[in-house]
Chain A
Amino acid sequence: GESVGLHLPTLSVQEGDNSIINCAYSNSASDYFIWYKQESGKGPQFIIDIRSNMDKRQGQRVTVLLNKTVKHLSLQIAATQPGDSAVYFCAETSGYSTLTFGKGTMLLVSP
């Protein structure tokens, strides 16, 4: 597959560990946030979203935490699997504006 980010921050974990990927955003007006997963050779895939009136949202094996005070977003992946290896992007928006993506973090999961 194609590499999408040779210069990205990288998080390396062992299979079965919990992973935490962080994202800082700059626009205090942003009220909707999404985490995307991008595997090699593919487009970004929606994982989970959260609105600014919430501080936590859980999905299947994933949890997103939002701290509006410090403009910080995190994605927690429980029991990380080799198939979770990918680049993860946070994206933000406000009102009807388009999504603005962060730089991304590469997650490498070792068996």
Chain B
Amino acid sequence: DSGVTQTPKHLITATGQRVTLRCSPRSGDLSVYWYQQSLDQGLQFLIQYYNGEERAKGNILERFSAQQFPDLHSELNLSSLELGDSALYFCASSVDPASYGYTFGSGTRLTVV
């Protein structure tokens, strides 16, 4: 157990639907990162939050959004889902943005049918 908790582990949904993925960072970590992993694109950075504020944005689609709450857990919202959104979504955390030894959760496998 890495200390980063992601729920749910698996999610199957239909095209056009909306889902929410949840992440609880490791105790003491203030920075949360979301990555998407697909077979042909590897690990793609989506977005980073630090202590509740958006810190950096990567290749995140406009249909996707995220937030970090006062208790530091984070949610990634994916809407108007398409078949191509099927992937593993990982959350990682670190103490602060200057700490690069990210700790990853086990991921959420999203399947859009």
Q: Is the CB of A2 within 8 A of B39?
A: no
What total of chain B residues lie within 8 Å of the partner, measured CB to CB?
27
The interface residues of chain A, by DSSP majority, are classed as loop
Contact with A along B29-73 (1 / 0, CB 8 A): 000010101011011010010000000101000000000000000
B58 closest partner in A (C-beta): A98
**Given A2-B88, A43-B90; A96-B97 close (CB under 8 Å):** yes
State A102–B103 Cα separation when bound (angstroms).
17
Given A41-B106, A44-B90, check contact A98 B101 (CB 8 Å): no
Per-residue contact bits, chain A 11-52, to B (CB 8 Å; 1 contact, 0 not): 000000000000000000000101010000111111001000
A5 CA / B88 CA spacing, docked (Å): 11
The contact string, 1 if C-beta is below 8 Å from chain B, for chain A 70-94, is: 0000000000000000000100010
- A32 contacts across to B, CB distance below 8 A: 100
Q: Could you tell me if A43 and B39 are in contact, using CB atoms closer than 8 angstroms? A: no
Within 8 Å CB of B58, what residues of A?
Answer: 98
Contact of A101 among B2, B43, B106 (CB under 8 A): B43
Q: Does B45 lie within 8 Å of A99, measured CB to CB?
A: yes
Q: A4-B88, A99-B45, A100-B45 are in contact. Are A46 and B102 (CB under 8 A)?
A: yes
Chain A residues with a Cβ under 8 A of chain B: 2-7, 32, 34, 36, 41-46, 49, 89, 93, 96-104
Q: Which residues of B contact A (CB under 8 A)?
A: 2, 4, 33, 35, 37, 39-40, 42-43, 45, 48, 56, 58, 88, 90, 92, 97-98, 100-107, 109
